[in-house]
Structure 1
């Protein structure tokens, strides 16, 4: 089962994709956006190109597990995308994924990889998406019930 993971932000959207067997996550792309509708259109183009069978969307919950305004916007956006794409969506807690992605990039830099701040910024969101997708594929992160269909 091929899965597309989305880390939705206000300026950038991280995209990751699993292999056909649904075992390995790979950072795919970071989209620079100006509006949520632009993000949806660009993600739909990726869905059409890559043919995933489900979507995994990172949900930015508050640290106290409550659903704040950013999480509510993400839920509405992802449900609309799910409807438009005709694919099921699974919501995943992504609160620490950006921190983990930054640590991963720092480790690579310490290992000798040359990386500017701009390069780091451009990769961070896709690596965050790959991080929570891999945790989901490995069974370390379960889906979050947000109510409603899909």
Structure 2
């Protein structure tokens, strides 16, 4: 069963997908979207879900360090429900605390320029979200 992992930001959505066995997560793309228009990422997501025969989604849930859910987390919960209804696939929320920080660290250690990091940080965070989920199973 292939699973899609999403790192949902206000302007971009990082996308990763699992292999068929659900062992590894691979970065796929970053989708530009407008958080104020919840439908703005529908076409590229629909294409990915169809092309890769995605059966489940994992959406990163950015919790505060004390475990509470703030405004960004609420936006992700709303989008997760939207995806579940729109694409008729089950969606799980996954605690993504520090994934962007960890992704940034990996890219810094790889000596990647700031400009290049900015292009791939969301995709890298999606990989970490999905891989964390896969490893927990």
- TM-score normalised over the length of structure 2: 0.91
**Residue-by-residue CA offset, 1:34-90 (whole Å, 9 max, x unaligned):** 233212443222212221110000001111111112211211111111111110001
Q: Map residues 19-58 of structure 1 onto 2, 5 A cutoff.
A: 19-35=19-35, 36-58=38-60
**Segment drifting more, 129-138 vs 33-42:** 33-42
Looking at structure 2, the residues matched to 132 and 21 of structure 1 have their Cα atoms a distance apart, in angstroms, of 17
**RMSD (CA atoms):** 1.4
Question: What count of residue pairs does the alignment treat as equivalent?
Answer: 135
- TM-score normalised over the length of structure 1: 0.84
Who is 1:148 aligned against?
none
Deviation of the 1:31 alpha carbon = 1.2
Q: 1:125 aligns with which of 119, 122, 134?
A: 122
Looking at structure 1, the residues matched to 6 and 27 of structure 2 have their Cα atoms a distance apart, in angstroms, of 10
**Residue-by-residue CA offset, 1:3-59 (whole Å, 9 max, x unaligned):** 100000001110000001100101111112223321244322221222111000000
Looking at structure 1, the residues matched to 92 and 128 of structure 2 have their Cα atoms a distance apart, in angstroms, of 15
Looking at structure 1, the residues matched to 46 and 76 of structure 2 have their Cα atoms a distance apart, in angstroms, of 16
SS for the counterpart of 1:37 is coil
Who is 1:81 aligned against?
83
- 2:100·2:125 contact (CA, 8 Å) conserved in 1? yes
Looking at structure 2, the residues matched to 79 and 34 of structure 1 have their Cα atoms a distance apart, in angstroms, of 17
Between Structure 1 and Structure 2, the one with more strand by share is 2
